[in-house]
Amino acid sequence: MSNRSTTPSAEAAATPPNQGGELFEARTTDETFELGRKLSKNLQPGDLVLLYGGLGAGKTLFTKGVMAGLGYDVDEVTSPSFSLVNLYKTKDLDVYHIDLWRIDGGQNASEAVGLDEILEEANTVVLIEWADRLGTLAFPNRTIRIKLEGDGDDPRKITVSMPEDSREKI
């Protein structure tokens, strides 16, 4: 296990690291879903996708879009709020869907879900809801940051930040 501190500061909990990124507006839930589907086409084994946003922002819906793009039955995709970790096996990848909502700010979120071990597994992609609970941890894996803003029937502003060395766009 790592000795890295994962207790988020108030500032880190409010927003993901500012790395710019592409800004999208999703006027409907279908558009949020489709943006997730588009992202799935860029995913590679070892990728870590960090999802930031408040309650009702569309993190799980976005994840369902990713899973649909990977050929997984979206009716089987649920928020792992209580289990903390769901594993979805697709044809090509094992996808870990992690929800840190229930992790207390004083706990080491990474250790609570065994993140270091999960990230070492071959042929996996990891999607983490409530990624702000990880604080300012940096990971060796290629990391994609998704910030979802808005709730209810309001349009969502979705910022997708691909790794700095990536030329990929959604």
- How do residues 9-25 score in pLDDT, each as one tens digit? 333 333 454 557 899 99
* CB atoms inside a 10 Å sphere around CB 141: 18
Q: Categorize the per-residue pLDDT at 166 as very low, low, confident or very high, splitting at 50, 70 and 90.
A: low
DSSP string, 10-33: HHHHHS------EEEEE-SHHHHH
Give me the pLDDT at residue 15, please. Answer: 46
Give me the pLDDT at residue 80, please. Answer: 83
What is the CATH superfamily name and number for domain 22-161? P-loop containing nucleotide triphosphate hydrolases (3.40.50.300)
pLDDT over 70 percentage in the chain = 84
Give me the pLDDT at residue 8, please. Answer: 37
Give me the pLDDT at residue 113, please. Answer: 81
Burial code of 68-82, b = ≥16 C-beta within 10 A, e = fewer? bbbebebeebebbee
Give me the pLDDT at residue 50, please. Answer: 96
The residue that leads in pLDDT, 168 or 56, is: 56
How many residues in total does the chain contain?
170
3-class secondary-structure state, position 88: strand
Q: Categorize the per-residue pLDDT at 105 as very low, low, confident or very high, splitting at 50, 70 and 90.
A: low
**Do 45 and 122 meet the contact criterion of CB atoms below 8 Å apart?**
yes
Judge whether residue 49 has pLDDT over 80: yes
Q: What is the pLDDT of residues 79-95, one digit of tens each?
A: 888 788 999 999 999 99
Residue appearing with tokens 């990474």: 110
Q: To the nearest 5 percent, what fractions of the chain are helix, strand and coil?
A: 25, 25, 50
> Out of 125-129, 143-147, 150-154, 162-166, which region has the weakest mean confidence (pLDDT)?
162-166
Token duo for residue 121: 């597994």
Give me the pLDDT at residue 107, please. Answer: 58
Give me the pLDDT at residue 151, please. Answer: 82
Residue appearing with tokens 């349009």: 155
Q: How many helices (H) and strands (E) does the chain have?
A: 5, 7
The residues, ordered by sequence, that sit 6+ positions from 101 with a Cβ below 8 Å of its Cβ are 81, 129, 130, 133
Q: Categorize the per-residue pLDDT at 66 as very low, low, confident or very high, splitting at 50, 70 and 90.
A: very high
**Any idea where the domains of the chain sit in the sequence?**
22-161
